[in-house]
Amino acid sequence: EAGVTQFPSHSVIEKGQTVTLRCDPISGHDNLYWYRRVMGKEIKFLLHFVKESKQDESGMPNNRFLAERTGGTYSTLKVQPAELEDSGVYFCASSPVREGPITQYFGPGTRLTVL
Amino acid sequence: AQSVTQLGSHVSVSEGALVLLRCNYSSSVPPYLFWYVQYPNQGLQLLLKYTSAATLVKGINGFEAEFKKSETSFHLTKPSAHMSDAAEYFCAVRNESTGNQFYFGTGTSLTVIP
């Protein structure tokens, strides 16, 4: 079974440009999450999809960030326009929908550098 | 509010020595606790999790962690470090009040000295 995949693995852009990150969850996982780790800090929650619906987007830093999950499969996270403080590693995770302490399965992350 | 504190951003141990990575949590309700490991250029991999069953939890690669409610701790241990254990380790907490959101610590980078 394939794990969570993310593309690209690295992205270097200039301030003011736009970047789109993609996440493909594990097949059959309706829950999809985005997290971000700024260098040296903790991994922080950004938002949570259940299928194509945003369940919780309380962690999104501002309106320069737009997440979508059309069709309830893969998800994209767009940053427009990018700022220096957006640099970090963006992780995607997925999990099935069921009761109990569900494990989230993480992808390898996308390292974003904004110059 | 939920939070996780990992004491020591960098830990070095000799090969064969005990590994102890510390994690303290803050949670207003009974927590679920997790340890994840990230090897270089890889994603976060689940090592083990506490889900209110046994307080001593065994995970992969010889790691284990003990949930101590009185100390609000969930420290990760391994009796004998191996070179392949060099990685970054993250402690995380969630509970029913946080929904599906995980709260992570800042991570501990483990170096194993030959």
- Cβ-nearest to A45 among B43, B49, B101: B101
pLDDT at residue number B82: 96
* Whether residue B53 has pLDDT greater than 90: no
pLDDT one-digit tens code per residue, B62-91 = 999 999 999 999 999 999 999 999 999 999
Model confidence over A4-54: pLDDT tens digits?
999 999 999 999 999 999 999 999 999 999 999 998 889 999 999 999 999
pLDDT reported for residue A74: 96
Instruction: Name chain B contacts of A104, Cβ cutoff 8 Å.
Output: 100, 102
Give the pLDDT confidence of A56-91 residue by residue, as tens digits.
999 999 999 999 998 889 999 999 999 999 999 999
Are the beta carbons of B106 and A59 separated by less than 8 Å?
no
Nearest Cα residue in chain A from B49? A103
Amino acid at A63: N
* Cβ <8 Å between A48 and B44: no
pLDDT, chain B, mean = 91
Our CA-based measurement puts residue B43 at a distance from the nearest CA of chain A, in whole angstroms, of 3
For residue A91, the chain B residue with the least C-alpha distance is: B43
Q: Quick one: pLDDT at residue B41?
A: 79
E-assigned strand segments in chain B: 3-5, 10-14, 19-21, 24-26, 32-38, 44-50, 56-58, 64-68, 73-78, 87-94, 103-104, 108-113
Q: Give A40→chain B minimum CA distance, Å.
A: 7
The Cα of A17 is separated from the nearest Cα of chain B by a number of Å equal to 26
At A44, which amino acid appears? K
